[in-house]
Amino acid sequence: MGIPFKKADILIPKKTVDMHKWSVVACDQYTSEPSYWNEVNEIVGDNPSTLNLTLPEIYLEEADVQDRIKKINDNMKSMLEQDLFDEYKDSMFYIERTQFDGKVREGIIGVVDLEDYSYEKGSQTLIRATEKTVLERIPPRVKVRENALLELPHIMILIDDENKEIIESLKSKVSADDVVYDFDLMQKGGHIKGYNLKSEVADEVITKLEKLADKDYFEKRYDVKDKGVLLFAMGDGNHSLATAKACYEKLKETMPEEEYLNNPARYALVEIVNLHSDALEFEAIHRVLFDLDIDDFMNNLKAYYDINTDGNGQKFELITENADEVLYISNPKSNIPVGSIQIFLDEYLKEHKGKIDYIHGEEVVRELATKPNNAGIILESMAKGDLFKTVIVDGALPRKTFSMGHSYDKRYYLEARKIK
């Protein structure tokens, strides 16, 4: 069967560009830490950088956001006119990302076909969201992408290759001659090295992925029937892929089928990573609430759920300016604690004052939660081996259920691709 992943025309800056300054972390990180982005700005200076081609989400609600988006589009045009990139036509990259902790996460860069992706609840497409897609988060991103000449991915998609036969086997099939980049990433990002795979090796990757997508093999492996084959599960960048899909669907309304099926916007540049990579650790995403009436919040929480401190039920830690305690929900509304908590928070914030942010590091949660009128909720992580079966059987998990590693281990913007 055909699979929705193939080689791409990949743009990499020419050797004259300082790659350490070029590559910055995904825009959805450090959303409550302006100091981080100020430091990145200082490191980059006037050098060519993906910082100037992307919109860190910390600025999404700023008054000048439209000006920022226009500047991004102008910068893309300018970089293309300056002939800043080398283009690797019809290529697939194998990458080795040495994380801050020294572990190496391997991946493959190529494009996925948006015709085979859906973020709708209950979808049975080959590419699926693992968490609930927040539809309100798509329009601001569409504004960034709709007039963009380039896409730069922070999208990471997972495969369930328990035997490590597809990605991990590539290290023995590349040589120094295949290296396209090799440099240290800024801000604790570790090191990254990318290789351009030989054509026959890239073809082998596709063949092995096709075997993973075989319907009989799939149904036997997960003990399911008529659930639709899930080959690619979203890891990071779900809303970015959803944005690419939204822009593509919009484009389809303006042109005949033959034209849109051959349009570069039909595809999105992504990194494929094995769920079973030793470097890939699932971490909980915690919640911080701002500008609350704390007494009102606590009263509503206790009215919504039966809360106890004696270990009966789903566990979470609640921190405020004056308290820090481990609590349990004995009458949960989801199979996992993060789901039960999110159901309550969504309901509460509809009717009461307060804002929410999703934070990866416990230390940051503790620091923010102890400020007046704030609250922090610390959660435990889910087992990564449960991911595919849960998505196949139950559909997408609650939003912001898990994170893959620390903020600084997230994908950095590096490769680009023309989408117009």
Are 269 and 130 part of one and the same domain? yes
Supply φ then ψ for residue 182, to 5 degrees: -165, 100
Element (H, E) at 78: helix 65-81
Q: For position 245, what pLDDT does the model report?
A: 96
Coil, helix or strand at residue 72? helix
Instruction: Tell me the C-alpha distance between 280 and 380, whole Å.
Output: 16
Inside any domain, residue 226: yes
The β-bridge partners of 113 are 267
Are 273 and 319 part of one and the same domain? no
Inside any domain, residue 188: yes
Instruction: Tell me the C-alpha distance between 305 and 248, whole Å.
Output: 42
Tokens of 54: 């992307």
How many domains would you assign to the chain?
2
Are 272 and 369 part of one and the same domain? no
Instruction: Tell me the C-alpha distance between 138 and 247, whole Å.
Output: 10
Instruction: Tell me the C-alpha distance between 343 and 375, whole Å.
Output: 17
Inside any domain, residue 112: yes
Are 222 and 306 part of one and the same domain? no
Inside any domain, residue 100: yes
Are 231 and 302 part of one and the same domain? no
What sign for the dihedral angle of Cα 340, 346, 348, 349?
positive
The β-bridge partners of 271 are 109, 156
Inside any domain, residue 347: yes
Q: For position 121, what pLDDT does the model report?
A: 79
What tens digit of pLDDT does each residue of 78-106 get?
Answer: 999 999 999 999 999 999 999 999 999 99
Are 210 and 353 part of one and the same domain? no
Give the residue from 226, 307, 235 showing the smallest Cα distance to 277: 235
Are 201 and 299 part of one and the same domain? no
Instruction: Tell me the C-alpha distance between 150 and 9, whole Å.
Output: 12
Are 157 and 235 part of one and the same domain? yes
Inside any domain, residue 391: no
Tokens of 143: 């504004």
Are 369 and 411 part of one and the same domain? no
Inside any domain, residue 105: yes
Digitized pLDDT (tens) for each residue of the chain, 420 residues in all: 589 999 999 999 999 999 999 999 999 999 989 999 999 999 999 999 999 999 999 998 889 999 999 999 999 999 999 999 999 999 999 999 999 999 999 999 999 999 999 988 788 999 999 887 777 878 888 999 999 999 998 999 999 999 999 999 999 999 999 999 999 999 999 999 999 999 999 999 999 999 999 999 999 999 999 999 999 999 989 899 999 999 999 999 999 999 999 999 999 999 999 999 999 988 889 999 999 999 999 999 999 999 999 999 999 999 999 999 999 999 998 878 888 999 999 999 999 999 999 998 899 999 999 999 999 999 998 878 878 988 888 787 877 888 777 889 999 999 999 999
Are 263 and 290 part of one and the same domain? no
Inside any domain, residue 393: no
Q: For position 1, what pLDDT does the model report?
A: 58
Are 346 and 228 part of one and the same domain? no
Q: What is the pTM of this model?
A: 0.83
What tens digit of pLDDT does each residue of 137-196 get?
Answer: 788 889 999 999 999 989 999 999 999 999 999 999 999 999 999 999 999 999 999 999
Are 18 and 167 part of one and the same domain? yes
Q: For position 171, what pLDDT does the model report?
A: 97
Instruction: Tell me the C-alpha distance between 237 and 154, whole Å.
Output: 6
Tokens of 102: 């020294």
Owning domain of residue 341: 286-378
Cα-Cα-Cα-Cα dihedral of 347, 353, 358, 362, to 10°?
-110
